[in-house]
Structure 1
Amino acid sequence: MVIFSAVLALAVLFLILPVSRGVAWTVAVGIALLTLAAVALRTLQRNRAREQSAHVLAALGTATADLPVSLRTRMPLALVTGDSLVQLFNRGADEERLAHIGDGAIWLRVNNPRDLPRIGVAVKQWRDGRAPDGIVLSISPALHASEDALTQALRVARQAVSDTSRMLGTGLPGYIAIYQRLTATPAAAVGLQWYGVSSTTRLTDAPKEVPPGDAHRFEAVMQAAESQVHQAGGDPVAAARAAALASVIGWTQRVVLGPLTDRSQPATPWALFGLGWIDCGPASDPRSPWATDVHARSGIMPPPMDASPAPWPLPQPVIEAMPRRLWVSPRLAAFAHAIALLACAGAVAIWGSAKNNQTLLTYIGADLGRFSMIPAEHDTARRDALKAIVADRDQIDYYARLGVPMRLSFGMYRGTLLMPVLNDAIASYQAPPPPPAVVTLDSMSLFDSGSAQLKPGSTRAVVGALEMIKAHPDKRILVAGYTDNVGNANSNLKLSMARAGAVRDWLVEASGIPVMQFAIQGYGDTRPIADNGTDAGRAKNRRVEITLVPEAPKDVPAERSPRT
């Protein structure tokens, strides 16, 4: 799922999101490193858990060899830790047995409460992703030297349960089984019976302030023992058991529930769903916490009693009302996560596509606005704006012919609606009329005979040429001088060149156009336009021509590659 998430993130990042390539590659490297680290860490944790719990998984495999896989995931599985585990799991000569199937559940032995997190993870893997259904804490009061020692052991168990729940990502229901000899009568004579409470809802959080509902549950347990006394006709053994049971129930509420559910402790309170007591356990010890409590409260010391023969019964009645949790197979959960990730990626993709389309519409709108704001007389700037509009039109047409890219898809594309607007804007462009090609000036009106010095007042004849030049400041200007054939040809050539230079200098000074934009040429009498044999013809040949040299046409491109 981590790799799938990373692939989705990279696809959305590079194909859709409106970010620069530099940012995209930086984020991609970060995603790749995090993905590799997460996969490596998770793989290492799983392998370590398998190695550390190999003996547990082997024991589970041996004990459940005859169970179908579907049954081992549906059958309740309880982790049992605490006291007297050998007596609980001893079935025949195999005293090191770690798992037992029977009494309506799979029971797994955890010798050290600190191993609960590790074994819980291993069980979850073994059960195809389903965590254990509960944790049973076995308590034999006679095995503890003092109440303080018992309290410390309970706090260790509580911390281990909290760590297990955190690692598994789910709360684990708790159950307490108290194994205490209540009467000296051999168990085989009277049978073994559990007294307790089993509930699908959490019992009490604060044992010192037992809610009425929970108090009623404990009273029901004692009433059940008292009813057995009546049924037995006042049998002294049954009466002694009922009295001892009432005492051990009160002791459990005061001594056991506190360390497990007290909210002042750092670990999470253990959610208890069942408590059970049974007249079975190790040999009684007058120094045990329960015996000491009975003596302190009543002045009566419980009589010495022998240990119950193994195996001791597992607390099946205590977990009968175990709350059933909805379990989803890892494959179905992975499929659901994949659908959720795809939905998130789709939402981000739609958002990114909307932003990209907004950007597309914004810059096309800016191109159209710039074109419409440029006056017709500024043809050069108008032609540049027209090129941008034509490029926009070609880009939209490219998408229409070859398909809209993914970054603009997901139902957000609106570029087709802009095609008529762009075509109308392109069709509205009209090139300005071409400038006059040549302005011819009479040399006699500008210069005295044989002179290249402009006569006073002659500049009025050049005003028309000046206006033409100012209207087209981007054009190059050629000033050419001509003479008739009277006189020496070389002198005429020099005179025509000098007159062209004089006109050029005046135009530069009057227009402010750089001199580099002008060119001068003298042709002398080599290019007559009339017959030099007549006075009228020679007058026409004595002239200065000012020509705007046309530049190579800059055609508007028909296509432009799409913007990226």
Structure 2
Amino acid sequence: MQKLGYPSRTMIVFAAALAMAVHGYVQPFGKEWLWLGYVGVLIVASGLVGWRTLQLSRARARSAAVLGALDAATLEIPVNLRTRMPLVLVIGDALAALFDRVPDEARLVFIGDGAIWLRVERAQDLPEVALAMRQWRDGQPPDGVVLSVAPALHVDADALAQRLRVARQARADAARLTGARLPAYVAVYQRLTRRASDAGAALQWHGVSTNAAPIDAQRFEAVIRHAEGDAVDHDHVARAAALASVIGWTQRVVFGTLTDPRQPATPWPLYGAGWIDCGPASDAGKPWEQEVQRQTCVAPARVDASPAPWPLPQPLIEALPRRRVASPRAAACGHALGIAALAAAVAFFGAGRHNADLIERVSADLTRYTQLTPDQDAARRDALKALVADRDELDRYARAGAPLRLSLGLYRGDRLLLPLNTAIASYQPPLPPPAVVTLDSMSLFDSGSARLKPGSTRELVAALDMIRAHHGKRILVAGHTDNAGSAAGNLALSNARAAALRDWLIEASGLPATQFAVQGYGDTRPIAGNDTEDGRAKNRRVEITLVPDTASRPD
């Protein structure tokens, strides 16, 4: 049967699509990051989907035998019940003896009273098996891990400590991979007396379990006192003494290794521990027996192995912390809502940032325009163009609606339209310069001469002020005469007087000669009749004209 489990890859694709939509429409980090953001999201999402696919495939491949045995053993158990029954992974020593009760050849699964026990032969496979169990149980991780410890199967305490460190690392990796806390238990199988226990009820677990870790060491003392209180004969007293010794040894050797803070893996979260007078054959050369001999100088007698199957530590998991069973689809919906809320928060953040940038930009354009004086007309025209562009942009938003990167209920650009229109309407172009300044030639030159009279510069002050006020314009200096004399002589005289006046203006204004042009018209352009003295006086003149530019006022 195909197990759906938590749709992790679908959630990755959903989050990536939402991130790309927010990044594309709202652009919370600016347009310059647009394509880089798209590429980054695609790379990350593809990598996560590929990594998760490989992870699940590897877990299913390594757990194929376990999954097959589970399907066969739970064929008649409804899926809803299967996800609610506690599922415990068993690692460590003597797993064959523990699962010898299973009728199938693999002997991997045992469905006991209220729990599914699953055998994990190698501790290194625990992370992949735990992940496969999460998929098999429709998104629910295993409920716990039991470490079986049979001290008599180890040559010395160092070899046992090494196996314990491997188990500790494997449980930490499994918890990380499944995202679950995975409560841990220790079951110690050790023959305590030479007298063989009767089958069934005669085998009794001595231990403690809780729904919160770690277990207080004082509770182990209570186990010892309880065993001593039940001692009614010599055999029970001997068993109680051996139990007290093996509990102390377990605390030092087993628990010390599993919870040592100096080890790199997460300490073993001990929710329960139990001891039973059952286990493999043992003699004086085994780790616990060697410690007893060092402390008492008495070598424990050799004992034979207990017949299989050995009892599973069912009493330990009776206090197993119960998880709230939730459908992985429901969990995915909750996570999707959380992702959507995060995307909405990023979108609101981006829209708020863009609105702040818009208001700051338009306000800066308004401030720059208002700080320019009328005599800075060129700079005012540039600032006015920026205001017109701002006004057109905001007007477009008012008519067609603001884009998503500015909207989401945060758009405030409409309040800037009135000050923009007011500022644009307030622009007044500077008054045009006088078209022509006419100077009387007789006040500047002697009759028939092109040399400026001494003191004639007073007549040129007005012309010089006009030129300085419009220093960027081109200047045409034109000479005119009356009709007295020859036409050729009058033309030459008008050219010479215009050139003399131009030279003086260049020197006085400091402007380059390229801004000046000289033109002599002689008597060809009279402004009055030459038949009277008054008319001829008006015709003898020099005209200074500013050539107008083609700049126009912005709309």
Shared fold, TM over 0.5: yes
Aligned with residue 196 of structure 1, among 207, 211, 234: 207
CA contact (8 A) 1:179 1:281 kept: yes
| Aligned CA distance change for structure 1 residues 293 and 462 (closer, same or farther; 3 Å) | closer
- Between the aligned residues of both structures, percent identity stands at 55
CA contact (8 A) 1:183 1:279 kept: no
Whether 1:436 aligns to 2:405 is: no
Partner of 1:127: 137
Aligned pairs for 1:86-105 (under 5 A) are 86-91=96-101, 94-105=104-115
CA contact (8 A) 1:284 1:307 kept: no
Q: How big is each residue's C-alpha offset from its partner over 1:158-212, in whole Å with a ceiling of 9 and x where there is no partner? A: 333233334334332222333445564563486544443232223536xxxx32x
Partner of 1:220: 226
Aligned pairs for 1:325-474 (under 5 A) are 325-474=323-472
Aligned pairs for 1:49-448 (under 5 A) are 49-91=59-101, 94-181=104-191, 182=193, 184=195, 187-188=198-199, 192-204=203-215, 210-211=217-218, 213-220=219-226, 222-223=228-229, 225-226=230-231, 240-241=235-236, 243-255=238-250, 256-283=254-281, 285=283, 287-289=285-287, 297=296, 299=298, 301-302=300-301, 304-305=303-304, 307-308=306-307, 310-448=308-446
Q: How big is each residue's C-alpha offset from its partner over 1:348-386, in whole Å with a ceiling of 9 and x where there is no partner? A: 443443333333333323322222222223333333332
Whole-angstrom distance in 1 between the partners of 2:235 and 2:297: 14
Whole-angstrom distance in 1 between the partners of 2:271 and 2:60: 30
**Partner amino acid, structure 1, of 2:478:** A
CA contact (8 A) 1:86 1:96 kept: no
What SS does structure 2 have at the residue aligned with 1:520? strand
| Aligned CA distance change for structure 1 residues 266 and 492 (closer, same or farther; 3 Å) | closer
Whole-angstrom distance in 2 between the partners of 1:136 and 1:195: 16
CA contact (8 A) 2:290 2:299 kept: no
**Partner amino acid, structure 1, of 2:457:** T
Report deviation, 1:110: 1.1
What SS does structure 2 have at the residue aligned with 1:441? strand
Whole-angstrom distance in 1 between the partners of 2:487 and 2:405: 74
Aligned pairs for 1:469-480 (under 5 A) are 469-480=467-478
Deviates more, 1:187-196 or 1:539-548: 187-196
CA contact (8 A) 1:193 1:278 kept: yes
Whole-angstrom distance in 1 between the partners of 2:532 and 2:264: 125
CA contact (8 A) 2:274 2:316 kept: yes
Report deviation, 1:135: 1.2
Report deviation, 1:436: 2.0
CA contact (8 A) 2:97 2:310 kept: yes
CA contact (8 A) 1:479 1:518 kept: yes
CA RMSD of aligned residues (A): 3.2
| Aligned CA distance change for structure 1 residues 8 and 447 (closer, same or farther; 3 Å) | same
Which stretches in structure 2 are left out of the alignment for 5+ residues? 1-10
Report deviation, 1:60: 1.8
**Partner amino acid, structure 1, of 2:494:** S
Aligned pairs for 1:30-41 (under 5 A) are 30-41=40-51
| Aligned CA distance change for structure 1 residues 30 and 396 (closer, same or farther; 3 Å) | same
Q: How big is each residue's C-alpha offset from its partner over 1:492-551, in whole Å with a ceiling of 9 and x where there is no partner? A: 233322322222222222222332222222222222222223333222222222222222
CA contact (8 A) 1:438 1:548 kept: yes
What SS does structure 2 have at the residue aligned with 1:276? strand
Report deviation, 1:420: 2.0
| Aligned CA distance change for structure 1 residues 543 and 28 (closer, same or farther; 3 Å) | same
| Aligned CA distance change for structure 1 residues 242 and 340 (closer, same or farther; 3 Å) | farther
Aligned with residue 503 of structure 1, among 490, 501, 504: 501
TM-score by length of 1: 0.84
**Partner amino acid, structure 1, of 2:225:** E
Whole-angstrom distance in 1 between the partners of 2:445 and 2:324: 111
Deviates more, 1:328-337 or 1:40-49: 328-337
What SS does structure 1 have at the residue aligned with 2:319? coil
Report deviation, 1:47: 2.0
Deviates more, 1:375-384 or 1:312-321: 375-384
Which stretches in structure 1 are left out of the alignment for 5+ residues? 230-235, 558-564
CA contact (8 A) 1:196 1:221 kept: no
Aligned residue pair count? 540
CA contact (8 A) 1:281 1:307 kept: yes
Whole-angstrom distance in 2 between the partners of 1:401 and 1:379: 32
| Aligned CA distance change for structure 1 residues 484 and 56 (closer, same or farther; 3 Å) | same
Q: How big is each residue's C-alpha offset from its partner over 1:230-282, in whole Å with a ceiling of 9 and x where there is no partner? A: xxxxxx6xx62564255235313323444334445554332222233445444
Partner of 1:550: 548
What SS does structure 2 have at the residue aligned with 1:406? coil
Report deviation, 1:109: 0.6
TM-score by length of 2: 0.86
CA contact (8 A) 1:196 1:218 kept: no
Aligned with residue 485 of structure 2, among 484, 487, 511: 487
Q: How big is each residue's C-alpha offset from its partner over 1:393-412, in whole Å with a ceiling of 9 and x where there is no partner? A: 22222221222233333444
What SS does structure 2 have at the residue aligned with 1:375? coil
